[in-house]
Amino acid sequence: MANSSCCTKGMRNFVAAICIAALSAFIFTPPASATQPVTIKAKNFAFTPGIVTLKKGQPTAITFVATQGVHGLTAPDIGLNKTVTITNSPTTVTVTPHKLGTFTSHCAIFCGIGHTKMQIVFKVVK
């Protein structure tokens, strides 16, 4: 009889461990390495949003789409090393910023008289 109660306790502990593991999958937040989506819209002389906050070391999927005109953006400080051409067809790139700070980038494709004022700010935080 002692053996059967020992096995029953062991089985209960095993089932309890499985239940805890299954519940933890629903309770815990995703790891810092999970990709966070951001959409940036471009129109003549403005990016929306004008300020984008990213987390250092966290991959972020950024979708660019133009609602007016054709634009471009390069932002090496956040890991966007090649110019993305922004048209009315969405383009998604993933960046992983590796340094903290506030970085300003400007439109990389001439879009008219207000082109020089077209900028976006990326804030990289912990």
Which stretch of DSSP H or E encloses residue 121?
strand 119-125
Q: What is the structure's pLDDT at 83? A: 95
Is residue 123 within 8 A of residue 51, CB to CB? The reply is yes
Cα angle for residues 48, 95, 52 (degrees, 5° grid): 30
Class of domain 36-125: mainly beta
Of the candidates 75, 70, 67, the residue with the CA atom closest to the CA atom of residue 99 = 75
**What's the pLDDT band for 14 if we cut at 50, 70, 90?**
low
What does the pLDDT look like over 29-65, one tens digit per residue? 444 455 679 999 999 999 999 999 999 999 999 999 9
Mode of pairing for the β-strands spanning 36-43 and 60-66: parallel
Q: Is residue 29 classed as helix, strand or coil in its secondary structure?
A: coil
Domain positions in the chain: 1-30, 36-125
Q: What is the structure's pLDDT at 24? A: 45
Q: What is the structure's pLDDT at 5? A: 54
Q: What is the structure's pLDDT at 36? A: 75
What's the pTM? 0.72
What does the pLDDT look like over 87-100, one tens digit per residue? 999 999 999 999 99
